[in-house]
Structure 1
Amino acid sequence: MSSPVRHYVGGEFDASGDPFPLVDPVHGRTVGQVPSAPAELVDRAVRAAREALRGPWGSWSPADRSRALHRIADGIERRFEEFVAAECADTGKPRELASTVDIPRAVANFRAYGDLLAARSEQAWHTETADGRGALNYTVRKPLGVVAVISPWNLPLLLLTWKVAPALAMGNTVVAKPSELTPATACLLAEVTAEAGLPAGVFNLVHGPGANAAGQWLTEHPGVDAIAFTGESGTGSTIMRAAAARLAPVSFELGGKNAGLVFADADLEQAVAGTVRSAFTHSGQVCLCTERLYVERSVFAEFAARLGDEARRLSGYGPMISAAHRDKVLGHLSKAAADGEVLAGGGAPRFGDDRDGGFWVEPTVLTGLAEDHPAVREEIFGPVVHLAPFDTEEEAIALANSGPYGLAATVWTGDVGRAHRVAPALDVGVAWVNTWNLRDLRTPFGGVKASGIGREGGDHSLDFFSEPMNVCVKL
């Protein structure tokens, strides 16, 4: 990123706080510094957001806010290449991925919620209210207030805007904290919100780690009315304890150990190609990626051979986000290699150039591990998928539903009846049939069990970021 990483509080940029290094994951080099927000700055950000609620922002109509969201979308589009470059620099992901998924989706998030808000406003004149007993009842939706938005490093702008857009749509103010590993596009977004004419304090941005730093101080702050978080399940538990002290509502999209089911009647070519996407997109660093794949025994050998071949041929993937994360993934692979079989990958690639200093892991296909093995039970969040056979539909469902997580699943079958039997039987928030990560932004998105609380998307997000209030008028 050409410009320095800064906080954005009350309409002003600020670089206060002790700096920590920003590392390029492709080459492993330090390329900049990120200021870690002191507690005083986090407090100032929350107070600025509170003041903005009482200021001009509170008088903006839904139509005004809808137009502002579209101006933000326009601003991201005008600076599209700058956003792509910043996202690639922070995450190491291929340009093709950032330019076709991350940045376009951020634009779509603001446009979608701008349109949904406008549609709601057009319908607001008609409400079924009379109760027939001498009173008129109607419902108004009011903003929650100051919302803390904490977003992860894997899809920095996409997941930040997925929460910021509906929060602003419903009239809230926001204090955002992106991952300390990927701060660049959040800084650009702060600039765009200012260009779009948002009043000072409506969108605020602080940087820093979580524990004993900006993340903890923000989630524990008594002036924060709600928390929206995407990240690791253990961190979600910590944030939930902080929110519980003041009964603040939370929306969590957490970890996953996602399963895929491949039945013998599936189009194997389609299933292999789909699994390459679902297992290895962004080097497996997507919460929706498939890490466990169960294949009907009669086609298991053929499917495993094909998937292994495709994994070995795969190129154009990116690195792990950090040295610590790479080492975690390689630790899982080392243990898995000792206890099972590696069909493809299994280590760190060597390029013979300066990328050898980066944080790379080969696309890896495993098999032969017990269901209670850590590589099968624990979220690895890398380019790793484990294959195991099954014999019956009932067994496949039971295997997919085992474990503490329940975010997403894939079902590959040529039998439409089976598709409609199996998909709803899976303990997940979203199940894809003969595809993966096909998203309609109006649909509910989230997980069950350790994979999350609540639903995002469409009206689900607008409802979370607002409070329904009943008004009763005696006739």
Structure 2
Amino acid sequence: MTDQLTARRQDELLRTMHTDLYIDGAWREATGGRRFAVENPATGEELTTVADADPADAMAALDAADRAQAGWARTAPRERGEILRRAFELITARADDFALLMTLEMGKPLAESKGEATYGAEFFRWFSEEAVRIAGRYSAATDNKSRVLVTKRPVGPSILITPWNFPLAMGTRKIGPALAAGCTVVLKPAQLTPLTALLLAQVLEEAGVPAGVVNLVPTTRAGDTTGPLLQDPRARKLSFTGSTGVGRALLADASGQVLRTSMELGGNAPFLVFEDADVDAAVAGAMAAKFRNGGEACTAANRFLVHEAVAEEFTAKLVEKVRAVRLGPGTDDGVTLGPLVEEKARDKVQAFVADAVAHGAAVLLGGEVPEGPGWFYPATVLTGAGPQARLHREEIFGPVVSITTFADEAEAVRLANDTEFGLISFAFTTDLARGLRMAEVLETGMLGLNSGVISNPAAPFGGVKQSGIGREGAHEGIEEYLETVYVGIADPLA
């Protein structure tokens, strides 16, 4: 894509899209006309401004969601599904617009943004089909003196809080099951990447979502704005994707009303390469698991644990692949690694590398902040960081590989499980029995077995330990927005 063509498309898209709050089926200014700037991380320059919601705006959104709840719950499942299907088709038709917005406000290369447009749209198609498959059951009680009727009904108005790293997919992964189940929503997108969510709201409006069913409140004051919603008895569900620290605070806030919660929190994914692994496949998997989204993903491989028998070969081949990574603005042709999302994120990654070096790590590639504008950090490979290095304990959230060796399977499992997190793990082995053992002994909600990317709308996404509560996607995803109701019936044959 040429710079001139990109600039024209960018100007037209930003000029024509809505940038106000979306409440009760209408686009409106924030209270007091407050707005905040959205910046391009590749340049640090302002892209546009967006309405900045305050607590009163958020409460207006909840008011609208509450008014719309009964009608939406009564809407035929087929109709709810057809609306989601239309939204899927509209996102697909505007995939280039969504991709450009994501690259502009978040930084990932256009090819990856296009991939997210496809992935994100698929949640709407998946849950359009799940809307008509909400099922209960009818059975005889064990003593045959009564009957058991089990039905499902929507939880009710849901507060959805999404992160900046996958601006489209995180929205569709939450909105899709909520709408399919019959729940209305208030969505608060990340401050750094609200533009994609705003275009998504516009698409949902075009798809025929009734007024009040979807409400969108971008804000720079997340806690102040969403906090009162969690204390309001009309809100019945909270779904959050983000850091474990913020998740803990939200769980505390949600406890007052005993809200149903879904928490997709931090990760510290181990990437295990056993002595019998196909090393070339492991290297390809490592590139996907680490550098997809520039490493800014909770599913990114964080700790590379490699058997000492293949460590030299794996490291040499990985360095060769990493050396070919091209750093630059995501809109430029051929770029495979864009900037980090903001200066603070770039500085944090640099601090991780410096700390690792202080704890004995050798820098095989990268490790230095490049000159020039934007929040760029090069693809980096480290080996030999001591056990006290921060990157063994905390999410790097950047394009840094840190390799540690192990001697046997027992040590690999011990190192992999030595974390408070448990979102995803990766294991490369040609031994099927060992792979199945890893599925049973690794403390993780998901396992990539000989695969570096396993996210799929048809699969349940979520973690254990302090990586979260609940699952998104798959058949399990819609259950998060449904209440189970039991009706005891007197024996009809008595």
TM-score with structure 1 setting the length: 0.94
Once the two structures are superposed, residues 93-120 of structure 1 have per-residue CA deviations (whole angstroms, 9 ceiling, x without a partner) of 11100112x11112110110111222x1
Q: How does 1:60-459 map to 2 (within 5 A)?
A: 60-100=75-115, 102-118=116-132, 120=133, 127-131=137-141, 133-315=144-326, 316-339=336-359, 340-350=361-371, 356-459=372-475
Secondary structure at the counterpart of residue 365 of structure 1: strand
After TM superposition, give the deviation of residue 404 of structure 1 in Å: 1.1
CA distance in 2, matches of 1:90, 1:218: 27
Is the contact made by 1:423 and 1:432 (CA closer than 8 Å) also made in structure 2?
Answer: no
CA distance in 2, matches of 1:386, 1:220: 42
Cα RMSD for the two superposed structures: 1.6
After TM superposition, give the deviation of residue 211 of structure 1 in Å: 4.5
CA distance in 1, matches of 2:450, 2:112: 22
Is the contact made by 1:50 and 1:146 (CA closer than 8 Å) also made in structure 2?
Answer: yes
CA distance in 1, matches of 2:352, 2:414: 24
After TM superposition, give the deviation of residue 376 of structure 1 in Å: 1.3
Secondary structure at the counterpart of residue 405 of structure 1: coil
AA in 2 matched with 1:5: T
After TM superposition, give the deviation of residue 129 of structure 1 in Å: 2.1
Count of residues paired in the alignment? 464
Match of 2:50 among 34, 58, 62: 34
After TM superposition, give the deviation of residue 212 of structure 1 in Å: 4.2
Q: Structure 2: which 5+ runs fail to align?
A: 1-13, 327-335
AA in 2 matched with 1:14: R
CA distance in 2, matches of 1:301, 1:247: 52
Is the contact made by 1:444 and 1:460 (CA closer than 8 Å) also made in structure 2?
Answer: yes
Runs of 4+ in 1 over 6 A off after TM superposition: none
Secondary structure at the counterpart of residue 436 of structure 2: helix
Is the contact made by 1:87 and 1:98 (CA closer than 8 Å) also made in structure 2?
Answer: yes
AA in 2 matched with 1:324: K
CA distance in 2, matches of 1:4, 1:444: 33
Once the two structures are superposed, residues 393-433 of structure 1 have per-residue CA deviations (whole angstroms, 9 ceiling, x without a partner) of 01001000001111111111111121111232110100111
Is the contact made by 2:267 and 2:467 (CA closer than 8 Å) also made in structure 1?
Answer: yes
1:15 is matched with: 29
Q: Structure 1: which 5+ runs fail to align?
A: 351-355
2:7 is matched with: none
CA distance in 2, matches of 1:434, 1:322: 33
Is the contact made by 2:18 and 2:27 (CA closer than 8 Å) also made in structure 1?
Answer: no
After TM superposition, give the deviation of residue 58 of structure 1 in Å: 3.0
Once the two structures are superposed, residues 197-230 of structure 1 have per-residue CA deviations (whole angstroms, 9 ceiling, x without a partner) of 1110000000113544324344444431110010
Alpha-carbon distance change, 274 to 210 in structure 1, aligned in 2, over 3 angstroms? farther
Q: Once the two structures are aligned, what percentage of the paired residues are identical?
A: 34
